[in-house]
Copies of this chain bind each other. A is one copy, B any other.
């Protein structure tokens, strides 16, 4: 397999996000080297870069690991994602214009189309190719939601956290059956409606409700305090 480092980066990132490496699994450059037909140092270089987006853990003198998983970690990542998405969406609602509404509607349209198909026949979601379509559409919708926040740093951080969120949740091997899609169709719709009507509080609530299923062993922070 002959590939340049961009492709190796993309491939490793994809595998990380889809839990093709177990949580906390050691990532040894020397071992991955063969897989990609490059030197161990090239792999090291790439893993160092994946560290920046939070998918890989690095510790001096003891190498790399796929991000570990735990209930606390999952709670943390969903709580932080919720916070960033709420802030980003709130700012977008204040700053975004017609073009934002158009972009968001378009992203939602694509997403809900897919989700309704998956709801109709659960088998479709079995195919990795279809899941990848949904995955992209879901990302696109949430990214568009915060796209007019006016803060590149918030947006970039959100992107990284979204990736880590997916990494954590895919590792959980949840059931993506028909009922899952029924639920999230409604949730995405609620977020869209609140956003388009510029109802800040409703939108924050809808984002929270969309993500709250991912809290484990405890309640979301806002309910705890």
> Which residues of A pack against B, CB within 8 Å?
5-6, 41, 44-45, 48-49, 51-52, 58, 60, 76-77, 79-80, 83, 87, 91, 94-95, 150-154, 157, 161, 221, 225
How many identical chains are in the complex?
A: 2
**Known A45-B48, A83-B154; 9 more pairs at CB < 8 Å:** A6-B60, A41-B41, A48-B48, A48-B49, A76-B153, A77-B153, A80-B157, A150-B221, A157-B157
Residue of B nearest to A157 (CB): B157
Does B76 contact A225, Cβ atoms closer than 8 Å?
A: no
- Say which residue of B48, B49, B80, B154 sits within 8 Å of A80 (CB atoms): B154
Determine the main DSSP class of A at the interface with B.
Answer: helix
* Cα(A50)–Cα(B39), bound, Å: 23
Write out the residue numbers on chain B whose beta carbons fall within 8 Å of the beta carbon of A151: 76, 79-80, 221
* Cα(A52)–Cα(B91), bound, Å: 26
Does A87 contact B95, Cβ atoms closer than 8 Å?
A: no
* Cα(A91)–Cα(B87), bound, Å: 15
Write out the residue numbers on chain B whose beta carbons fall within 8 Å of the beta carbon of A80: 151, 153-154, 157
